Each structure stands twice: as structure tokens, then as C-alpha cells.
């Protein structure tokens, strides 16, 4: 059996769909299942059992020998939340407990780290273990992810295989419950449909024009494809941290123009002031160094930004049922 934590969330539910499509239905889905909007992400998915996240550790004590793989995607991901107690409980301590269960039963373990660990990028965006102690995340979310990375690297007892995946700017179907944390694509789709234009933040950095702030945008279909491939030993590199982006930074303006194009509408962008509380914590550039993951599977092809946005807009956001379904 395969455990997926955060199974009702954005990436977790899309991973469940991918696993189903690859023939894996013996899944144990872990979440708190209290959000009905999130639960829609699981409609039509095949699985063996649902387990509340608070019950997972005791459940594993009785069933650990039946588990073949753990995908730990569940986390508190709100970058505007500043209650460190929440992050310590859900992102740090819970993850440590799950790691220890995977050590006990020698279960391969893939978990979600984050590009938020890189902060302003002062030390670059290389997934080197030597850099982890130096990194300076900008918010409690990024700090919690980096603290777990540091803890993992220091562990002498490890699962059979482990990988901490530093997700960059993931976008795609099933993110609709995330409110203000939804990708710019889904926000642009709504604004363009409602008003015919899109608002973007002005730049406050002399090296970047308005709209030219850069991110490594990666389509969720590519993210879950990479994760499933890492299940198989012939695609596994050594255990460790791995960046998961495209390796190509693109601007927010590029992203919005791709959305206009997918809707077959003329571009109209308005640049607005950035809230003061974001100005000192705003990343102007992220780009994953993908050399390490490329060594694990060199033939992997990512969607271009235009391809991913077109698929998302035309095959999901423009459809009556926007959710990804197993098929």
C-alpha cells in the first residue's frame, strides 16, 4: 500500500489521480477531511482507506509492515501565516514522527520541502546539503520547511530511500480551495473573465521592470510525474534534497500573457502598488538548479509555461467541472 498525506489538497490529490492512472488503487489517504471544497478534489479517486492525520502514527504502528511507500505532501503552506506554533506542529514535529515510522518499518519516504527555504536567493538555488544551514527563509512557512530539511540531513537512521522535494511555483488544477494562495493563473483567469484585464504588482527593485519579476513556474502534472517516477529504483538517485521546478525562470507578465492567449483575448495589464507588508519579503527571482534531478532521469520533459497554462485554462478552468478526475 502507498500512503499519501495531504491527500485532499492541491498536489496530494493530483498525486492520487496520477497513481490511480498508473494502476495504483491501494492507497491510504491521510488528511483531516474537514474542508468540503478540498474534499471535492478526491471525487472519483480510488483508494483503500482514509485515515485522519491525527490517527496516522497509531495506524502505522499496526499496519507499517503493509506499507510500500510514503508520500508526505501534507503541510501548512500559508506564507502569510505567522503563528509559528502551527508550523512547528504540522510541518516540523509531525514530519519528524512520520520519518521515524518510516525508519522503523524501512519504508521509502518522499516529502514536500519548498523553494521558500531559499529566501531571497542570497546563496543561489542549488539543492546542496551544504547550503541548508546557511539559508535564510523569509517567513515561518519557509523556516519550518528548512528546519525539517536540516533535521533530516543530520539523521543517522534513515528510511530505505528518502527524497525531500523543493517545490518551486506549482500551478494547476485542484488548487481552488487555497484562497489567496492560489496561483496567479487561476487569479488571472477570473480577473480577465470578469473585467477583461489583469492586475499585477509594480516592481520596487531597480533591476526588474513592472511585471518582470521572475519565478520558476512548474505545472502540477510535471510535479506528480516526477514523484511517481521516483518510486521506482531505476529512477532513484541517492537519497537527499532535490529541486523540483523547470530550471527556467519566467516573468509574471509571461504567465499572464499566456493566460490571455489561452482565452483568446487581447492583453490588458494594470500595475498596482504592492502592500507595504510584502515589500521587504518579496522574491524577485527564483530558478531551480535541476542538475541533481536530471541525473536521476535525464529524459524528463517539462511543459513549457505556455503549454501548461493553455492546458490548465482550456481543459480545466473553462470547463463546468474544473477538478482533475481519475480516468
Give pLDDT tens digits for 281-295: 788 999 999 999 998
pLDDT over threshold 60, residue 26 = yes
| Arithmetic mean of pLDDT over the chain | 93
Position 80 confidence tier, pLDDT thresholds 50, 70, 90: low
Q: How many domains are there within the chain?
A: 1
pLDDT over threshold 80, residue 62 = yes
In a domain, residue 144? The reply is: yes
In a domain, residue 269? The reply is: no
What percentage of residues in the chain have a pLDDT greater than 70?
97
pLDDT of residue 125: 97
Tell me the average pLDDT across 28-38: 94
In a domain, residue 234? The reply is: yes
pLDDT over threshold 50, residue 327 = no
pLDDT of residue 281: 78
In a domain, residue 229? The reply is: yes
pLDDT digits (tens, 9 = 90+) for 219-265: 999 999 999 999 987 667 899 999 999 999 999 999 999 999 999 99
Report yes or no: 277 and 79 within 8 Å, Cβ to Cβ.
no
In a domain, residue 253? The reply is: no
What percentage of residues in the chain have a pLDDT greater than 90?
82
In a domain, residue 109? The reply is: yes
In a domain, residue 268? The reply is: no
> Between these two residues, 305 and 235, which has the higher pLDDT value?
305
Position 12 confidence tier, pLDDT thresholds 50, 70, 90: very high
Whole-model pTM: value is 0.94
Tell me the average pLDDT across 57-75: 96
pLDDT digits (tens, 9 = 90+) for 134-192: 999 988 999 999 999 999 999 999 999 999 999 999 999 999 988 888 999 999 999 99
Position 326 confidence tier, pLDDT thresholds 50, 70, 90: very low
Which residue range is the domain that position 296 belongs to? 2-172+217-247+287-303
* Grid cell at residue 219: 505545472
Position 75 confidence tier, pLDDT thresholds 50, 70, 90: confident
pLDDT over threshold 70, residue 57 = yes
Q: Which residues are catalytic?
A: 141, 178
Position 126 confidence tier, pLDDT thresholds 50, 70, 90: very high
Residue 30 has phi, psi (to 5 degrees) of -120, 130
CATH of the domain at 23: 3.40.50.720
pLDDT of residue 324: 64
pLDDT of residue 142: 92
Give the lowest-confidence range in 4-8, 32-36, 56-60: 32-36
pLDDT of residue 82: 73
> Between these two residues, 67 and 281, which has the higher pLDDT value?
67
In a domain, residue 195? The reply is: no
Amino acid at each position: 500500500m502507498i500512503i499519501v498525506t495531504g491527500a485532499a489538497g492541491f498536489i496530494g490529490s493530483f498525486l492520487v489521480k496520477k497513481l490511480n492512472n498508473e494502476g495504483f488503487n491501494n492507497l491510504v489517504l491521510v488528511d483531516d477531511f474537514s474542508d468540503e471544497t478540498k474534499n471535492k478534489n478526491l471525487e472519483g479517486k480510488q483508494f483503500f482507506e482514509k485515515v485522519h492525520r491525527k490517527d496516522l502514527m497509531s495506524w502505522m504502528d499496526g499496519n507499517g509492515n503493509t506499507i510500500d511507500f510514503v508520500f508526505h505532501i501534507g503541510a501548512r503552506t500559508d506564507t502569510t501565516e505567522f503563528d509559528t506554533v502551527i508550523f512547528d506542529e504540522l510541518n516540523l514535529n509531525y514530519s519528524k514522527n512520520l520519518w521515524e515510522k518510516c525508519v522503523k518499518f524501512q519504508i521509502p519516504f518522499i516529502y514536500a520541502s519548498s523553494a521558500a527555504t531559499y529566501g531571497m536567493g542570497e546563496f543561489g538555488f542549488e539543492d546542496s546539503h551544504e547550503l541548508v544551514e546557511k539559508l535564510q527563509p523569509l517567513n515561518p512557512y519557509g523556516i519550518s520547511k528548512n528546519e525539517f530539511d536540516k533535521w533530516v540531513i543530520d539523521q543517522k537512521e534513515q528510511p530505505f530511500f528518502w527524497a525531500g522535494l523543493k517545490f518551486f511555483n506549482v500551478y494547476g488544477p485542484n488548487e481552488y480551495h487555497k484562497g489567496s494562495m492560489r496561483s496567479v493563473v487561476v487569479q488571472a483567469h477570473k480577473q480577465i473573465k470578469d473585467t477583461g484585464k489583469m492586475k499585477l504588482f509594480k516592481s520596487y527593485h531597480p533591476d526588474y521592470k513592472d511585471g518582470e519579476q521572475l519565478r520558476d513556474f512548474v505545472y502540477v502534472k510535471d510535479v506528480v510525474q516526477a514523484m511517481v517516477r521516483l518510486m521506482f529504483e531505476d529512477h532513484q538517485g541517492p537519497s537527499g534534497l532535490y529541486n523540483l521546478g523547470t530550471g527556467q525562470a519566467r516573468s509574471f507578465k509571461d504567465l499572464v500573457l499566456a493566460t490571455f492567449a489561452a482565452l483568446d483575448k487581447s492583453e490588458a495589464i494594470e500595475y498596482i502598488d504592492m502592500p507595504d507588508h510584502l515589500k521587504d519579503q518579496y522574491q524577485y527571482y527564483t530558478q531551480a538548479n535541476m542538475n541533481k534531478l536530471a541525473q536521476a532521469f535525464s529524459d524528463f520533459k517539462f511543459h513549457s509555461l505556455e503549454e501548461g497554462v493553455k492546458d490548465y485554462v482550456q481543459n480545466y478552468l473553462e470547463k463546468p467541472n474544473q477538478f482533475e478526475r481519475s480516468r
